[in-house]
């Protein structure tokens, strides 16, 4: 853990430039099934140039587009694609992810090196996320064909969801995001396996995402590479929906225990996603079996000594059961010696699931108690002799800034896009229910009045 005050991190970053963020160098997510790359989950992904890649496999990360954004940051500019952080910095008193990501252990040690670069260099990323394909057994409401083969199947059968009043469609298949099937030749994956053996020696963190990674043969190829070529400095992670078919979960747990027992990696963290409980979570994360989910998480915690981090894709459908979910996470964290963590990334797109469409009453009823609970729980954990409650720092910061931003959005006049998204929310729910034989009113009785109100808006 990097023990540097956030105020000091911000001050040093701002001295280089008001938009300077180390993550543009140190962090990368590679979508190898479609040939896209991005640094930071808040920005959109862009296409990797195959001509660049032929002579420079590191163009999986060091694209010309990204180098231009780095130059903007070094020249004191704020890149437009990073607008979420500028919104947080300008509209709240909270620290944006520009500060949090730069402070992280994979970034901050490289501050002096990066601030003296020109922006044209090929830089080995220290935090690497890889998606080998979109193969997945879920089709979450806020996801799409780029990350879910189930979504791709639905779009091919039924077409994208259309919004007649706005002349807009949701989840049309973007030509740039068309997936190369794993059984086919994939130049991006070929470049990855040329780049990876050296690149992994520079990594602080390697994280495999998807799709559902446990359904990709390349995930297990990475694990086998690490078993054969140990990287004792590496923190290895996998994002999983924790509901793979058959015996894959037990096979996966056995492989992770082999990595740890043979000291092939420094540590392993299991990342999984949820932002609600029970039937409401199954509604939004279509394909999830909540009972299987909690059973598999329990099996993992009982049969390994490794950590679990819940990524909560916070959106409008999280409101009713987000607090009960967080209480469940805190309870199992206590049971398993505080090996369980919370992270609350914010769903901005699609806009009709953006929490900014909520009313002030909803924010006060459902979200203010979450902030109060996390504050109280952190204070209680600070009294535990062998633990100081630091794994609640990040979610408390995140939910606090979310609440502040949402309440600010309720000020008159309401931004036109918010009311537009409210109307689209009503239309989307109707379409979602018809396509997937679901019933929003039965599943979300707490939000029925809001849903009807959105129709009038």
Concatenated DSSP letters of 82-140: GHHHHHHHHHSSSPPHHHHHHHSTTTGGGHHHHHT--S-S----SEEEEE-----S---
Kindly state whether residue 247 falls inside one of the protein's structural domains. Answer: no
Residue 215 lies in a domain: no
What is the Cα–Cα distance from 174 to 172, expressed in whole angstroms? 6
What integer pLDDT is reported at residue 36 of this predicted model? 95
- Asked if the model's pLDDT at residue 423 lies above 70, the reply is yes
Q: Are 32 and 186 in contact (CB under 8 A)?
A: yes
Which pair of tokens denotes residue 255? Answer: 């492989």
In this predicted structure, the answer to whether residue 389 has a pLDDT above a threshold of 70 is no
Q: Which of 126, 169, 167, 173 is nearest to 154 (CA)?
A: 173
Q: For residue 444, is pLDDT > 90?
A: yes
Tell me the two tokens of residue 419: 């009311």
> How many structural domains comprise the chain?
2
Mean pLDDT, rounded, for 341-369:
95
Model confidence, pTM: 0.84
Considering only CA atoms, give the Rg of the chain.
Answer: 22
Q: Is the per-residue pLDDT at 1 higher than 60?
A: no
Average pLDDT, the chain: 94
Q: Which residue has the higher pLDDT, 281 or 182?
A: 281
**Dihedral angle sign, alpha carbons of residues 390, 391, 394, 395:** negative
Contact yes or no for 66/330 (Cβ under 8 A) = no
pLDDT in tens, 318-339: 999 999 999 999 999 989 988 9
The number of C-alpha atoms within 13 Å of 112 and in the hemisphere containing its C-beta is 1
CA distance 63 to 120: 10
- CB proximity list for 39: less than 8 A, separation 6 or greater: 23, 24, 25, 27, 28, 29, 61, 66, 125
Strand segments, DSSP code E, in 300-408 are 307-311, 340-343
Give the whole-number percent of the chain exceeding pLDDT 70. Answer: 98
Token representation of residue 229: 């070529």
Q: Sort strands 46-47 and 27-31 into parallel, antiparallel or unpaired.
A: unpaired
Task: Determine the average pLDDT of the residues in 24-37.
Answer: 96
Tens digits of per-residue pLDDT, 227-276? 999 999 999 999 999 999 999 999 999 999 999 999 999 999 999 999 99
Q: Is residue 213 part of a domain?
A: no
Q: What is each CA distance from 199 to 52, 128, 149, 231, 269, in whole angstroms? A: 17, 10, 29, 11, 20
pLDDT at 175: 87
Which of 99, 130, 161 is a domain's end point?
130
- Look at residue 382 in the predicted model and tell me its pLDDT: 78
pLDDT band for 385, please (50, 70, 90 cuts): low
User: End of a domain among 130, 149, 165?
Assistant: 130
pLDDT digits (tens, 9 = 90+) for 213-239: 999 999 999 999 999 999 999 999 999
347, HSE (Cβ side, Cα atoms, 13 Å)? 25
At 384 the pLDDT is 74
Residue 108 lies in a domain: yes
Q: Give the pair of three-digit tokens for residue 261.
A: 């027992």
The DSSP call for residue 386 is T
Cα separation of 82 and 99, whole Å? 13
Cis peptide preceding 371, ω within 30 of 0? no
Q: Residue 457: what pLDDT?
A: 80
User: Measured between alpha carbons, how far is 280 from 339 in angstroms, rounded to an integer?
Assistant: 26
**167 occurs within a structural domain:** no
Q: Which domain holds residue 38?
A: 6-130
The answer to whether residue 393 is domain-embedded is: yes
Q: Provide the angle, in degrees to the nearest 10, between the axes of the packed helices 393-409 and 83-91.
A: 80
Residue 211 preceded by cis peptide, ω within 30: yes
State residue 146's pLDDT score: 87
145-182 pLDDT per residue, tens = 988 999 999 999 999 999 987 788 999 888 888 888 87
Does residue 116 lie in a domain region? yes
Place of tokens 């600010």: 408
Q: Which of 97, 130, 163 is the last residue of a domain?
A: 130
Residue 414 has pLDDT above 90, yes or no: no
**Residue 148: inside a domain:** no
């Amino acid at each position: 853990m990097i023990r540097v005050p956030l105020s000091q991190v911000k001050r040093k970053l701002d001295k280089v430039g008001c938009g300077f963020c180390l993550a543009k160098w140190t962090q990368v997510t590679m979508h190898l099934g479609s040939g896209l790359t991005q640094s930071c989950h808040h920005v959109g992904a862009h296409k990797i140039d195959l001509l660049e890649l032929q002579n420079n496999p590191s163009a999986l990360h060091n694209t010309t587009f990204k180098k231009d954004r780095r130059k903007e940051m070094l020249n004191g500019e704020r890149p437009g694609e990073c607008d979420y952080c500028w919104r947080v910095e300008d509209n709240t008193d909270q620290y944006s992810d520009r500060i949090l990501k730069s402070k992280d252990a994979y970034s901050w040690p490289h501050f002096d090196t990066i601030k003296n670069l020109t922006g044209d260099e090929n830089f080995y990323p220290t935090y690497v996320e890889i998606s080998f394909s979109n193969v997945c057994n879920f089709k979450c409401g806020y996801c799409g064909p780029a990350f879910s083969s189930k979504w791709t199947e639905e779009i091919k059968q039924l077409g994208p969801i259309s919004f007649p009043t706005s002349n807009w469609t949701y989840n049309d298949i973007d030509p740039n995001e068309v997936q190369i099937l794993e059984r086919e030749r994939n130049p991006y994956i070929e470049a990855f396996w040329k780049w990876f053996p050296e690149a992994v020696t520079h990594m602080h963190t390697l994280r495999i995402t998807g799709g559902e990674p446990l359904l990709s043969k390349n995930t297990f190829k990475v694990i086998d590479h690490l078993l054969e070529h140990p990287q004792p400095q590496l923190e290895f992670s996998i994002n999983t929906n924790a509901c793979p078919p058959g015996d894959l979960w037990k096979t996966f747990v056995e492989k992770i225990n082999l990595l740890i027992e043979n000291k092939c990696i420094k540590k392993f963290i299991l990342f999984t996603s949820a932002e609600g409980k029970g039937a409401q979570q199954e509604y939004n994360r279509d394909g999830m079996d909540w009972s299987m989910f909690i059973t598999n998480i329990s099996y993992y915690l009982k049969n390994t000594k490794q950590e679990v981090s819940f990524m909560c894709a916070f959106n409008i459908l999280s409101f009713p059961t987000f607090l009960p979910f967080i209480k469940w996470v805190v309870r199992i964290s206590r049971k398993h010696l505080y090996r369980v963590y919370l992270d609350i990334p914010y769903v901005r797109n699609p806009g009709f699931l953006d929490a900014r469409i909520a009313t002030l009453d909803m924010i006060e009823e459902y979200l203010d108690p979450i902030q109060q609970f996390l504050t109280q729980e952190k204070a209680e954990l600070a009294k535990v002799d062998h633990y100081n409650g630091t794994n609640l720092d990040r979610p408390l910061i995140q939910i606090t800034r979310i609440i502040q931003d949402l309440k600010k959005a309720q000020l008159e006049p309401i931004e036109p896009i918010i009311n537009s998204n409210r109307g689209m929310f009503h239309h989307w729910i109707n379409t979602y229910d018809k396509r997937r034989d679901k019933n929003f009113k039965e599943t979300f009785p707490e939000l029925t009045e809001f849903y009807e109100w959105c129709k009038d808006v």
